[in-house]
Amino acid sequence: MAEAARSERAGRPRRPGTGAAAGTSPRRIALEILRRVETTDAYANLLLDARLRRADLSPADRALATELTYGVLRLRGRLDWMLQAVLDRPLAALEPVVRLLLRLGAYQLRCLTRVPAFAAVDEAVRLARSLGAARSAGYVNAVLRSLTRQASPPEPDPGSDPIAYWASVGSHPGWLATRWTLRLGLEEAARLMAGNNAAPPLTVVTNRLRAQPDAVRRALEAAGLDFAVSEWLPGAFRLRGAGSPAELPGFAEGHLIPMDEAGALPVLCLDLGEGGRVLDACAGGGSKSALIAAAVGSRGEVLALDRSPRAMRRLGAAMARLGATGVRPLQGDAREAGAAWPGAFPRVLVDAPCTGLGTIRRRPEIKWRRQPEDLGRAAALQGELLAGAAGAVAPGGLLVYSTCSLEPEETDAVIAAFRAAHPEFSPEDPGPALREFADPAAPGMLRAWPQRHGTDGFFVARLRRAT
């Protein structure tokens, strides 16, 4: 760090991340999150939000920690491709902490312009020593300095060898790149993967139980935030560079629900009105339950079912913040809903657990975590949940199935198998308001695409039960 010290004595302004204490430096925090993501099923966004709440960092250093965490996850394939060109052994053969340190350093050296090369290298070496990898500190130093001196090798041609390109420089696993290219065609698959690699806006939806969209818009303007009104969902806003949702004006007061616009499509498909009775059969954190509660009003009833105790805790806290007193959380299994409440609900939503492959732009770790066999496992559970909840739909009622995945196994195939076993349910057009997302080849089905709509990937099926 001698060079950094000399530059500060010379009066140069300190760059983000070059002067924080080692335990709270943005690079150390990013490394902590990346290690947790690699060794557990935790999601980076939840880990990072919790860690930044505990850290005493300047706004610039908070932004750097966020940029490093998501940047390394999004562009891991590109970083590994660049690093392998200067390594003397396979990247996979390195200790996990060394591999992560090299990715962090490579991202700063090749993908950021505001971090000086000396700072990126020296901080990586210092981190290696502080984490008990002192024997590898020299190696980290040598590799990163080689990266500063050598140009990147020629990239694979995305036109003549698209799989090689997207599986390396394009930062997607080869199986996904191959799958999407075969299913969607080269051009559309490339657009989808490029969309996955783009940082998404923070999207919030107005909680109409506590606020109105005009008031939310004025609060965002008064805070000087960069935002746009959603073109797809009334009362939703897309924000750039806004940081954590908890820091937004009105969040603590329950005015805002952080969720992607596509996540609201299943609720719109329920065709809700004042006083409705709804079963949210896989409620999770409760964002959709809150939107449902606002739509059915004080005379309505929302039963929010989930089998996870953790989801119940999150849901309870969210409903308290949002003032959704009409939501009744209940721990239970959607597969048993039909037996528990036969024909009791005019509206039932099954927002099923899935691979999450439609949310890669928000949760980039998913593309490195998922494997082809996960699709079959997810589809089997989704079919069971849909069949179990279907019995709770009243005659003439609506059953809406949704996933944040666009893979055929989790979408069309689940619906086809369900309808074969339950002919009393038929697909129904959700109406002109959602026509932009409608699939003309599959009546009653909606699909939102990152590359087409600027949203997460989402599938929705609306089914009507015969009277």
For 294-326, the pLDDT digits (tens) are: 999 989 999 999 999 999 999 999 999 999 999
Query: In percent, how much of the chain has pLDDT > 70?
Result: 95
* Model pLDDT, residue 2: 31
Q: Strands 301-306, 277-280: parallel, antiparallel or unpaired by DSSP?
A: parallel
Q: Mean pLDDT throughout 256-278?
A: 96
pLDDT value of position 194: 97
pLDDT (0 to 100) of residue 188 = 97
What is the predicted pLDDT for the residue at 134? Answer: 83
With tokens 């996979």, the residue in question is 92
Domain ranges of the chain: 2-149, 162-196, 202-258, 261-465
Structure tokens, 185: 């065609």
Topology (CATH) of 2-149: N-utilizing Substance Protein B Homolog; Chain A (1.10.940)
Average pLDDT of every residue of the chain: 92
Output the CA angle 302-307-311, nearest 5 degrees.
75
Report the pLDDT value the prediction gives residue 23, as an integer from 0 to 100.
56
Instruction: With cut-offs at 50, 70 and 90, classify the pLDDT of residue 397.
Output: very high
Q: At 95, is the pLDDT very low, low, confident or very high (cuts 50, 70, 90)?
A: very high
Taking the CA atoms of residue 278, residue 280, residue 285 and residue 289 in that order, the dihedral angle to the nearest 10 degrees is -20
Give Cα separations from 322 to 166, 250, 251, 255, 298 (angstroms): 42, 11, 9, 7, 14
115: confidence class by pLDDT, cuts 50, 70, 90: confident
Residue 413 dihedral angles phi and psi, to the nearest 5°? -65, -40
pLDDT at 242: 84
**Cβ neighbours of residue 125 under 8 Å, at least 6 residues apart?**
137, 140, 141
The answer, yes or no, to whether residue 91 has pLDDT greater than 50, is: yes
| pLDDT given for residue 12 in this prediction | 35
Cβ(432)–Cβ(384) below 8 Å: no
C-alpha 368/C-alpha 361 separation (Å) is 12
- Residues with a known catalytic role: 404
Q: What b/e readout covers 215-245, taking b as 16+ CB neighbours within 10 angstroms? A: ebeebbeeeebebeebebbebbbbbeebbbb
Average pLDDT, stretch 350-356? 98
Query: b/e for 323-347, b at 16 or more Cβ within 10 A?
Result: bbebbebeeebbbebbebbeebbbb
End-to-end CA distance of the chain: 75
State pLDDT tens for residues 142-180: 999 999 998 888 999 998 999 999 999 999 999 999 999
- Residue-wise pLDDT for 369-378, tens only, equals 999 999 999 9
Q: 173-224, pLDDT tens digit by residue? A: 999 999 999 999 999 999 999 999 999 999 999 999 999 999 999 999 999 9
Q: Report the pLDDT value the prediction gives residue 243, as an integer from 0 to 100.
A: 82
The predicted-structure confidence for 4-55, as pLDDT tens digits, reads as follows 333 333 333 344 444 444 457 999 999 999 999 999 989 999 999 999 989 9
Q: For the chain, give the secondary structure using H, E and C.
A: CHHHHHHHHCCCCCCCCCCCCHHHCHHHHHHHHHHHHHHCCCCHHHHHHHHHHHCCCCHHHHHHHHHHHHHHHHCHHHHHHHHHCCCCCCHHHCCHHHHHHHHHHHHHHHHCCCCCHHHHHHHHHHHHHHCCCHHHHHHHHHHHHHHHHCCCCCCCCCCCCHHHHHCCCCCCCHHHHHHHHHHHCHHHHHHHHHHHCCCCCEEEEECCCCCCHHHHHHHHHHCCCEEEECCCCCCEEEEECCCCHHHCCCCCCCCEEECCHHHHHHHHHCCCCCCCEEEECCCCCCHHHHHHHHHHCCCCEEEEEECCHHHHHHHHHHHHHHCCCCEEEEECCHHHHHHHCCCCEEEEEEECCCCCHHHCCCCCHHHHHCCCHHHHHHHHHHHHHHHHHHCCEEEEEEEEEEECCCCHHHCHHHHHHHHHHCCCEEECCCCHHHHHHECCCCCCEEEECHHHHCCCCEEEEEEEECC
Per CATH, domain 261-465 is 3.40.50.1100: no
Q: What are phi and psi of 268, to 5 degrees?
A: -65, -35
* Among candidate residues 79, 85, 132, the one with its CA nearest the CA of residue 102: 79
What's the CA gap between 461 and 415, in Å, rounded?
8
Give residue 303's pLDDT.
Answer: 98
Which class would CATH give 202-258?
alpha beta
Cα 72 from chain centroid (whole Å): 15
Question: What is each CA distance from 208 to 189, 216, 234, 235, 294, in whole angstroms?
Answer: 37, 10, 11, 9, 6
Query: Which residues have a Cβ under 8 Å from the Cβ of 280 and sit 6 or more positions away?
Result: 288, 289, 292, 302, 303, 304, 305, 349, 351
CB 451 within 8 A of CB 195: yes
pLDDT of residue 22: 46
Q: What is the mean pLDDT of residues 393-422?
A: 98
Looking at per-residue confidence, does 116 or 457 come out higher? 457
**Dist. CA 194–CA 176, nearest whole Å:** 13
For 180: left if phi > 0, alpha if psi spans -120 to 50, otherwise beta; the answer is: alpha
